Chain A
Amino acid sequence: MNIFQQKWMTGLLLAALAVGALAPMLSGVAGFPQWLEVVLGGLMSGVLYSLVALGLVLIFKASGVFNFAQGAMVLFAALTLVRLMEKMPFVVALAIAALVMVAIAWLVERLVLRPLVNQEGIVLFMATLGVAYFIDGIGQIIWGSDIYTLDIGMPKEPKILLEKTFEGGILVSMEDVIAAVIAAALVGALALFFQKTGTGRALRAVADDHQAAQSIGIPLGRIWVIVWSVSGLVALVAGIIWGSKLGVQFSLQLIALKALPVVILGGFTSIPGAILGGLIIGLGEKLSEVYLGPLLGGGIENWFAYVLALVFLLVRPEGLFGEKHIDRV
Chain B
Amino acid sequence: MIYRETGQYKTTYEADQQLFPILQDRIFVLLVIAFAFGAVPFLASEYLFRAILTPFLILSLAAIGLNILVGYCGQVSLGTGGFMAVGAYAAYNLALRLPDLNLLVVFVLAGLCATVVGVLFGLPSLRIKGFYLAVATLAAQFFLDWAFARIGWFTNYAPSGSVSAPPLVILGWEVVGPVRKYLLVLGIVCVFALVARNLVRGAIGRSWMAMRDMDVAAEVIGIRPLYAKVTAFAVSSFFVGLSGALWAFVYLGAWEPLAFDVNRSFQLLFMVIIGGLGSILGSFLGAAFIVILPLALNQMPGWLGVEMSTALISHIELMVFGALIVFFLIVEPHGLARLWAIGKEKLRLWPFPH
Contact = CB atoms under 8 A, between A and B. Distances in A.
Interface in B277-308: 277
B10 interface: no
Given A112-B326, A299-B149, A310 B124 contact: yes
20 contacts: A112-B326, A115-B330, A121-B131, A122-B277, A123-B329, A123-B333, A129-B266, A129-B270, A133-B318, A134-B318, A134-B326, A136-B319, A136-B322, A298-B150, A302-B145, A303-B142, A303-B145, A306-B143, A310-B124, A310-B136
B151 A297 contact: yes
A127 to B, nearest CB: 5
B312 A130 contact: no
Interface stretch (B18-26, B52-60, B209-217, B345-353): B209-217
Nearest to A329: B217
A122 B76 contact: yes
A88 interface: no
Interface string A288-309: 0000000011111011001101
A317 B132 contact: yes
B132 A141 contact: no
Interface in B129-156: 129-132, 134-136, 138-139, 142-143, 145-146, 149-151
A13 to B, nearest CB: 13
B322 A132 contact: yes
B76 to A, nearest CB: 6
A293 B264 CA distance: 27
Given A263-B135, A313-B136, A329-B214, A137 B150 contact: no
Contact of A126 (B135, B269, B315): B269
B191 interface: no
A106 interface: no
Interface string A122-151: 110111011111111110110001000000
Contact of A129 (B129, B142, B325): B325
Given A126-B329, A137-B318, A140-B318, 4 more contacts: A123-B273, A129-B266, A313-B132, A317-B129
B128 interface: yes
Contacts of A141: 312, 315-316, 319
Interface in B245-279: 262, 266, 269-270, 273, 277
A-B pairs with the 5 shortest C-beta distances? Answer: A133-B322, A137-B319, A134-B322, A130-B325, A137-B318
Interface string A60-73: 00000010000000
Contacts of A121: 130-131
A257 B145 CA distance: 14
Contacts of A263: 135
A268 interface: yes
Contacts of A120: 333
Main SS at interface, chain A = helix
A329 B214 CA distance: 8
A126 B273 contact: yes
B319 A134 contact: yes
Contacts of A18: none
Nearest to B136: A310
Contacts of A307: 139, 143
Given A126-B269, A133-B321, A137-B322, A260 B135 contact: yes
B195 interface: no
A1 interface: yes
Nearest to B123: A314
B126 interface: yes
Interface residues of A, number: 54
A264 interface: yes
A130 B322 contact: yes
B354 interface: no
Interface in B76-90: 76
A239 interface: no
B132 A137 contact: no
Contacts of B151: 297
A74 B149 CA distance: 29
A328 interface: yes
Contacts of B316: 137, 141
A223 to B, nearest CB: 21
A329 B216 contact: yes
A141 B92 CA distance: 41
Given A123-B273, A130-B326, A1 B127 contact: yes
B154 to A, nearest CB: 12
Given A121-B131, A306-B136, A327 B216 contact: yes
A306 B132 CA distance: 11
Contacts of A328: 216
Given A264-B136, A306-B138, A300 B146 contact: yes
Contacts of A278: none
A131 B76 CA distance: 20
A133 B319 contact: yes
A8 interface: no
A6 interface: no
Contacts of A310: 124, 128, 136, 139
B311 A116 contact: no
A123 B270 CA distance: 10
B127 A314 contact: yes
Interface string B214-255: 111100100000000000000000000000000000000000
A4 interface: yes
